Every structure is written in C-alpha cells, then in structure tokens.
Structure 1
Amino acid sequence: MNCLPNAFALILIFTGSLLAQKPTDSSYLNQNPPGLTPSVFAPDLVSLKDHYEYGSVFSRDGKEFYYAVIIDKKPQIRCIRFEKNAWTAPKTVIGSTKYEYNDPFLSPDGKRLYFISDRATDGKGEKKDFDIWYIERQKDGWSEMPISAGPGINSDKNEYYMSFTNDGTMYFSSNGGTTQATDKNYDIRFSKYVQGKFQPSRKLGTTVNTDHYEADVFVSPDEQYVIFCAERPDGFGKGDLYISFKSKTDEWQPAKNMGNVVNSEGYEFCPFVTSDGKYLFFSRSGDIFWVKTEVINTLR
C-alpha cells in the first residue's frame, strides 16, 4: 500500500497548524532590532529623508508609538498604533500652523499624553514661552483641549521634555529663574505628584546640573538613573547624552558622558528607554535612532 499521499496530507495539516498558531509580531513596528551600534529606527516609516523627526516614546504595552515631526516649520505630534494585527500609518494627534507641539510622553498609567508647546493659554493668542501641557485619553481618542501641567511645573520661561517615575513624579528641564544673560542655562528639575497636583519643582544637585545646558531628561521608572542631553565643553559634539546613577544611599552620582558608542560630532537628544528595558531611543540630525541598553549597563 502506498502511504505517501497520507504522509503528505499530514505534513500539510501540521504546517497549516503552525502557521495558524504563529502570533503576529507587534514589537517595535516590525523593525529589525539593533545591536550595540545605534541604527536609524523605521527608516521606511518614521525616520524619513525629507522630514525632521525627533522625541519618540512607546506606550508601556508597546502598541502605540508617538513622535514629533516638523511640517511646514511647525512641529506636530504623530502616532502609529498596532490595530487589527497591523501597524497603522502615522496619524497626527495634535498640530497647528501657529503653535509648536513636540516632546511627547505618556503618563505612567497611559491616560495622559504630555508634550510641550508655545501655544497661548487660551489657544488663540500669540505664541509664548514653552510650557508643559497634556491631553486626556477618551474612548474614541484624545481630548482636544490641552491642559496646563500647572504652576508647580511651568514658569514664565521655557519648560522642555518630561518623563515620569512609577509614582508619577515628573522630571523635566527649565530655564525658569534665569536672567537674560543666563537664560541658556537649563537645569534638570523634578516635581512630585500629590493629590492630583504637581508640587513646586526642585532642581537636581550639581552632580547633574552645571552652569551649562542640561535638558531632555529621561528618568528610569524606578528612579535609579537619569539620561539627559547636555552641551558641555568635554563633549563629542554640540550636544551629548550623559547619564547619572543613584547610589545605594539614594544620591545622584556625578554624570558620565555616554561615550562615542552613542554620541557623535552631531547633536544627541530626546532619550527614552523602552518599558521592557531592551532599547535606548534617542534623536540625532533629524532622525530617530535606537540601540541595545547594554550600552547603559557598561557605564554603571
């Protein structure tokens, strides 16, 4: 008796079963993961040659990706979502022909999308200094009217790029309190979130802040390290990424330049580490880059 047809049928059934069980990959926009050398993220979808993109963040479940892109000289915030087993095309979440919107970051619970903008308080007048704002997640998308992060965060000068610890403490940068002669001296600050309000912010100490520009801070959710952009004379380029770790006694250690594995002769800024701890994202020269977080571990 010839058993080849039956065997062939079994192979087809087994192969079909495997294909049916294979999960759809929703990780990182289906991009090939980087190694220890930074590579451009999603060059065919996000980091486009004819656009300037920067400031990116994934949601904790990895199914939403937000970033800023400059369109007609005005930054706007876009989002790519994993829906119906596929990634959507980029869609604008908030933008304007009058105001700038950039530096997106999600709250720890994912219910708020924070960003910076030079919009007028009423959204109608002339643009002002940059403040931190947020919109709220609704059943059918995001709310339309931005809400100020409040006086504990915003000053009469600029506030830039925020990130959060697990308990909702916001880290950000500001040149609030500077004079005209020192207004380029941005410092890293933090504000506790208590009973629905951000408390008056405080500066980190001199192990992180100097007389130079420090901004674009990412704080690890467990508050054990911060990565930030600084413009310092000992850097590799115009702006480099630095890192400071907390000691066993809960003190910030002197910040270290992250080295030429990450930094270049260009300008590195807008750091972000994914919630699974695998990848460091940052921006450089109008593109978004990513690299394995082993580059962080080598600096401890």
Structure 2
Amino acid sequence: MTYFRTVMALILILSGSLQAQTTASYLNQNPPGRTPILFAPDVVSLKDHYEYGSVFSSDGTEFYYAVIINKKPQIRCIRFENNTWTAPKTVMGSDQYEYNDPFLSPDEKRLYFISDRANDGQGEKKDFDIWYIERKKDGWSAVPVNAGPGINTSKNEYYMSFTKAGTMYFSSNGGTDQSTDNNYDIRFSRYARGKFQPSQPLPPGVNTAHYEADVFVSPDEQYLIFCAERPEGFGKGDLYISFKSKTGEWQKAKNMGSVINTDAYEFCPFMTSDGKYLFFSRDGDIFWVETAVIDGLKDAR
C-alpha cells in the first residue's frame, strides 16, 4: 500500500508539472488548429500597435517580436520567469534608428536583427544592415555588432534565419540598380572560420524579378518559407514555400494557398522549434497556425 501511494504521489506531481508546463507554453494561449488565428490578443497583438517579426527561444521561455512605437520599430521580449510571463520589455529601441526582424542564432547566444543605425551608433541613419548582440550573464550586450561584409551591402538587408549548421538565409537588394531597388532576392551565407562567407543568391525557382524577402529556412535546410509580391498572389504580399529535391536542389516555390494568404499582406514566417506551429505576420498583427498546412503542401509536390 505504501508503494502504491508513493507511485500515485509521483504520478500526481509529474502530472501537475506537465500541466503547468503546458499552461505556460506560448504565453498561456489556446493553440490554433489548421486555420490561422491571432496570437496573444491584448498581450502581443494589440489593436493600436503594429506588430510583426516574431521568434520563440527553443525552450519556449522567451518570445521576441517587433512593434512600431512613435513611428519607430523596436524589439521587445516577453519571458517566462518565476512561473509567470513578464510584461513586454524593450530589448532594442531608439528615437533615431529602427530595430526589427529579431531572430536567435542556433545556439541562442546571439540575437540578430536589422537596423538602419549608423556604424558608430551616433550619426545619421543609413541603409538597413543585419546586426547582432550577444547574450551575457546579466542580459544582452549593449553595443550591436555588424554581421559583416559577407552579409551586408551598401543597400538593404532584411529578415534572417538559420540552419542548424549556422548558415544564414536573408534577403537583400544589394547589386540592383535604381530602377529595380524593390527586387529583393533571397541569399544564403555559410558561417566558417568565425565569420560569414560571401553570400550567394538562391536559384530562379525561388528568386524572380519580383520582391522576395522575409525568409525562414528549416533547421535541416529542407524547405524555406518566404514573403513574395507577385502578380498571381492573393494580396499585396503572400507566403510561398520551396522544398529541396532528393538531389539537393531548391524546387520552384509555390503559393501557400488561401488558408494562409488573404488580400492583406502576409510576411515574417517562423516555425517553432517543436515543429508544431507556424507564426507569421499579417498587416500589423501576429498569427499562428498548425504546421499541418506545410505537410499538405509537401505532399502535393
């Protein structure tokens, strides 16, 4: 009888722990199904704010996103601390410069983002580059570091994501002339010998003469989701997906369909590390949906 009571007590303790962990997941929000729903209304997705570009840490205890305050984008973070979620706190913000598109490095020791800040952080704003800050024992480092010439050009670089090996995927309009400045293309850069190597563009199956940006690459580098502005789309901007073939080539990207895309603007995709949910932004709010929508598109190749 004593053994039975002990076992039952352990089961109840474990059950309570799992229940608490489930309750704490994703800012205590009820999970979505196969139809996208607004994420964390009245907490993150506020009626009077413009939110976009979100990412969770791999353990689900940190949530980073961008929000426009007084016409300047800034990066905020909500953390799970002392068994509760904190109020949003600003990680990077300025009255002079813009900070947005946050994304964690694979080891989560760096927080990457884009900014039009001057190189010295004091002069006039410039084109958008990719930057990062480093995790310290007491928080994030105060002075951003430029990701370097392998990534950044004299024009704009937007929204990055990473493979497990540390390869960065991002978009840029570097190399375009004045008449095609909106022709952003998706590029990738391997990380080797302590720095990012010169980037390379993806093939025409992904890049076109139109706008392609805001790319999320799966950690195993088997598919990528990105925002594109194409004439055949559902709206101003749609999410597209490209899978790798068995021989390692990127296949022609396909529109993710009317379940995801509307006549609004869909952008900034991100998949959670547990593989359960796809997050994306739509006209200034953050949405999430089950990743079963991706499985269906893969099966339809």
Same fold (TM over 0.5): yes
Q: Distance in 2 between matches of 1:183 and 1:296?
A: 31
Q: Indicate the residue corresponding to 2:280 in structure 1.
A: 282
Q: Distance in 2 between matches of 1:122 and 1:249?
A: 45
Deviates more, 1:101-110 or 1:19-28: 19-28
1:172-229, Cα deviation, whole Å (9 max, x unpaired):
0000000000111000000000011000000000000000000000000000000000
Deviation at 1:44, TM superposition (A): 2.1
Q: Indicate the residue corresponding to 1:4 in structure 2.
A: none
Matched, 1:216 2:214: yes
Counterpart of 2:123, as a letter, is G
Q: Indicate the residue corresponding to 1:62 in structure 2.
A: 60
Q: Indicate the residue corresponding to 2:176 in structure 1.
A: 178
Q: Distance in 1 between matches of 2:174 and 2:15?
A: 55
Unaligned regions of 5+ residues in structure 2, if any?
1-7
Q: Distance in 1 between matches of 2:252 and 2:277?
A: 23
1:77-106, Cα deviation, whole Å (9 max, x unpaired):
000111111111110001000000000000
1:235-289, Cα deviation, whole Å (9 max, x unpaired):
0000000000000000000000000000000000000000010000000011000
TM-score by length of 1: 0.94
Q: Indicate the residue corresponding to 2:147 in structure 1.
A: 149
RMSD: 1.5
Counterpart of 2:235, as a letter, is G
Deviation at 1:27, TM superposition (A): 1.1
1:21 to 1:207, Cα distance in 2 relative to 1, 3 A:
closer
Counterpart of 1:229, as a letter, is C
Q: Indicate the residue corresponding to 2:263 in structure 1.
A: 265
Find the residue that maps to 1:297 and give its secondary structure. Answer: helix
Q: Indicate the residue corresponding to 1:3 in structure 2.
A: none
Counterpart of 1:251, as a letter, is E
Matched, 1:197 2:188: no
Q: Indicate the residue corresponding to 2:16 in structure 1.
A: 22
Q: Distance in 1 between matches of 2:284 and 2:261?
A: 15
Q: How many residues align?
A: 288
Q: Distance in 2 between matches of 1:222 and 1:19?
A: 36
Q: Distance in 2 between matches of 1:98 and 1:187?
A: 28
4+ residue runs over 3 A deviation:
17-21
Q: Indicate the residue corresponding to 1:103 in structure 2.
A: 101
Q: Distance in 1 between matches of 2:26 and 2:60?
A: 7
Q: Distance in 1 between matches of 2:227 and 2:290?
A: 18
Deviation at 1:21, TM superposition (A): 5.4
Q: Distance in 2 between matches of 1:242 and 1:87?
A: 33
Q: Distance in 2 between matches of 1:228 and 1:287?
A: 17
Find the residue that maps to 1:276 and give its secondary structure. Answer: coil
Unaligned regions of 5+ residues in structure 1, if any?
1-13
Q: Indicate the residue corresponding to 2:237 in structure 1.
A: 239
- Percent identity, aligned pairs only, is 78
Counterpart of 2:96, as a letter, is K
Find the residue that maps to 2:78 and give its secondary structure. Answer: strand
Which of 202, 225, 228 aligns to 1:227? It is 225
Q: Distance in 2 between matches of 1:44 and 1:33?
A: 16
Matched, 1:90 2:88: yes
Higher Cα Rg, which structure: 1
Deviation at 1:19, TM superposition (A): 7.1
Counterpart of 1:272, as a letter, is F
Counterpart of 1:22, as a letter, is G
Q: Distance in 2 between matches of 1:20 and 1:182?
A: 58
Q: Indicate the residue corresponding to 1:51 in structure 2.
A: 49
Counterpart of 1:287, as a letter, is D
Q: Indicate the residue corresponding to 2:5 in structure 1.
A: none
Find the residue that maps to 2:294 and give its secondary structure. Answer: helix
TM-score by length of 2: 0.93
Find the residue that maps to 1:296 and give its secondary structure. Answer: helix
